[in-house]
Amino acid sequence: FEDRTSPGTKISFITEGVLLRWLQEDAALNDIGAVLFDEFHERNLLSDVALALVKRLQATRRPDLKIVVMSATLDAEPIANYLASAEGIPCPVVISEGQSFPVEVRHQKIRDPRPAHEQAAETVARIVNSGAEGDVLVFMPGMWEINATIQAIGREKLAERVACIPLHGDLAPDD
């Protein structure tokens, strides 16, 4: 709930809910030159409504307003067709392949009654102690589970030092 914008702000990172509020306060988004919807594959009602309202705004009062929809996994064709102009001008699609890395997924064969953070820590220890090269990325459902997993990894006997770096929405801005 922090607003760090000023008259000199060039880029604002906002949620779809904030964008909808802005549209209520200034239906023409007069001070906005482009609206970028990132991670659009994580669609929800707010993102769909926001895109529809911004598209309508572009088609009616703000033909200069740019709309960018980004996703690493979404099929581009349907959204590009939706964003094509009423005059039939196609929406350009830019594809950036980027660099991919091999990922190995393994599943446990038997049910383990221990908490997930303990199981994850043991699995990290097994991977690190095997001498395998590369990094280990552990996804947990929330901040508590992330912190519990980091603490559990700290209790494991590891063949080398590891850096456990948490990433969650409650981190301080400096972190």
User: For residue 58, which of 86, 22, 31 has the smallest C-alpha distance?
Assistant: 86
The pTM of this model reads: 0.65
Q: What average pLDDT does the structure give for the chain?
A: 92
**From CA 83, how far away is CA 65, in angstroms rounded?**
12
Mind listing the pLDDT tens digit for each residue in 148-171?
A: 999 999 999 999 999 999 999 888
Q: Quick one: which H or E segment has residue 36?
A: strand 34-37
Residue 1 has pLDDT above 70, yes or no: no
Mean pLDDT of 116-123: 96
DSSP lists the bridge partners of residue 69 as 37
What the block records as the tokens of 29 is 């988004």
Strands (DSSP E) found in 63-141: 66-69
Residue 142 C-beta-side C-alpha neighbours within 13 Å = 1
